Structure 1
Amino acid sequence: MLVRTIYLLVAGYLLLLLPSHAVAQAGANAAPTTCGVDIEHQKTDAVEAACLREFGKLASREGDLLTLRLENGASKAYRDEGKACETDDAARCISHRLAAYHPEARVYSIVIGYYEGSAAELLSGRTGNVLRLSGTPYFSPDGSKFIVIDNDYAYGGPNDLSVGSNVNGSLSLEWEHATEQGELREWRLARWIDNDHIALRVFPADTGQKCPDNNCDAMLVRFGNGWAIRRLPARPQ
């Protein structure tokens, strides 16, 4: 099966370590599995298990069914098609893994895996509003904005960068940047400076996000209802 795992990185609010015996089994240098914090290089099954322990009654899984509770007492269910994935039924193969809950935004992040490629879905815990994304969402500290980074030029969407808003539980994209086919690049969030300025790192594709010429800094700046990418001067050698 060729399911590719998206790793969702969030600007850390929740931290839950695996039990000490599990960490020891993983090796002394292994990073603990966490929910909603930097989970790069970790498997989504392990991340979801950490999230389920963290959230208690807010989230649960029974077999192929993931259930997330909303603040109004309702719930949203996601059903996997595990047998289809096991039998290489590409048309029906789908999995859902809870990867994070953003407390300031009051939004769940769910990783959706397909036979080839993957996506993410945001679910508002306040309203049940959902928004499907092709890349990885990163929320601003106050939860009102999020940037979406899509570095999957094989199975991803047409846009490598997007910015969205979360207003009263209504999730929407307000700006999208089309992938430039002539010069494929990979992006990484450096930090949110404020809700109008986002510091980024940008790398040539397929370089392992390495910066050969020290010219990999960029800024996403808001202008009115839109955003613009600004490349920054190269760092001194």
Structure 2
Amino acid sequence: MLVNAARSAQANSSDEDKMLGDARVASEESSSSLRVMEPRALAKGEAQRIGGRLIVTLRSGKTKVYSDRLACSRPAEETKCIRYSLVVHAKTRSSYIIAKQYYEGLEAIVVNEVSGVETIVRGIPSYSSDGRSLVVFLENDPEVGFAVEVWQKNGDRFAKVWTGSPNSDGIYVSYRLIRWISEDAFLIETKTKYGGKKPDALQEVLIVRDASGWKIAPR
């Protein structure tokens, strides 16, 4: 029974990771794609949509409501639109991930499904295997440009503990999570574009945690 439960939890977390990965790709392609994908997340979670309202249910039975701005239904005011879409109910990590989409760009709200406490990050996150760490990729962010952030569980929310910018010497960098190797190491792929000044570069980068904290591992 314990083996079956462990396998079920692993399968469910893999499904959650896939939904998060699909959402990251969709958010890069079109701002409307996440709303199109939402029915799959609603079907697997304890949430519902009623018109412009997304309603998520906490373990206590209480609900949190996220309402689209009325401007979203008025073409002349589309720049003021803020729209909420459920990305995944990550039950194995006791949280909901909700995309808060602006006219340009988005944030992700990580909702603790026990307490309802929120953590806001500036991109669709990826969980570590035990759910106690998050990785967030920032690409062309207005504040920091291109960076990788690591967030760690701190009580009911997550706190940012590290920011680094591997291979960010070009004019544009994109990041992709390859896999978590352990709770203290993950491997990413970076694609650096140089605008024709030299060939684009595709590299793997290992990010690790030691006694001093997180860092980019030397090659």
What is the TM-score with the length of structure 1 in the denominator?
0.71
Unaligned runs of 5+ in 1: 1-9, 16-33, 233-237
What secondary structure does 1:49 align onto?
A: helix
Asked if 1:48 corresponds to 2:38, the answer is yes
AA at the equivalent of 1:106: S
Please, which of 203, 206, 214 is the counterpart of residue 216 of structure 1?
203
Asked if 1:126 corresponds to 2:114, the answer is yes
AA at the equivalent of 1:194: S
Structure 1 runs of 4+ off > 4 angstroms? 34-37, 178-182
Identical aligned residues as a percent = 21
Distance 1:224-1:75 versus aligned 2 partners, 3 A rule:
farther
Whether the 8 Å CA contact 2:38–2:87 is kept in 1: the answer is yes
Alignment root-mean-square deviation, CA: 3.0
Distance 1:179 1:199 in 2: 12
Whether the 8 Å CA contact 1:88–1:115 is kept in 2: the answer is no
Q: How many residues align?
A: 197
If each structure's strand is expressed as a fraction of its own residues, which one has the higher value?
2
Distance 1:54 1:103 in 2: 9
Whether the 8 Å CA contact 2:205–2:217 is kept in 1: the answer is yes
If each structure's helix is expressed as a fraction of its own residues, which one has the higher value?
2
Distance 1:191-1:44 versus aligned 2 partners, 3 A rule:
same
Distance 1:41-1:134 versus aligned 2 partners, 3 A rule:
closer
Unaligned runs of 5+ in 2: 1-11, 28-32
Whether the 8 Å CA contact 1:217–1:231 is kept in 2: the answer is no
Name the counterpart of 1:38. Answer: 22
User: CA offsets per residue over residues 105-145 of structure 1, 9 Å max, x none?
Assistant: 21111111111222211111111111111122000111111
Asked if 1:230 corresponds to 2:217, the answer is yes
Name the counterpart of 1:79. Answer: 67
Name the counterpart of 1:187. Answer: 175
Whether the 8 Å CA contact 2:71–2:80 is kept in 1: the answer is no
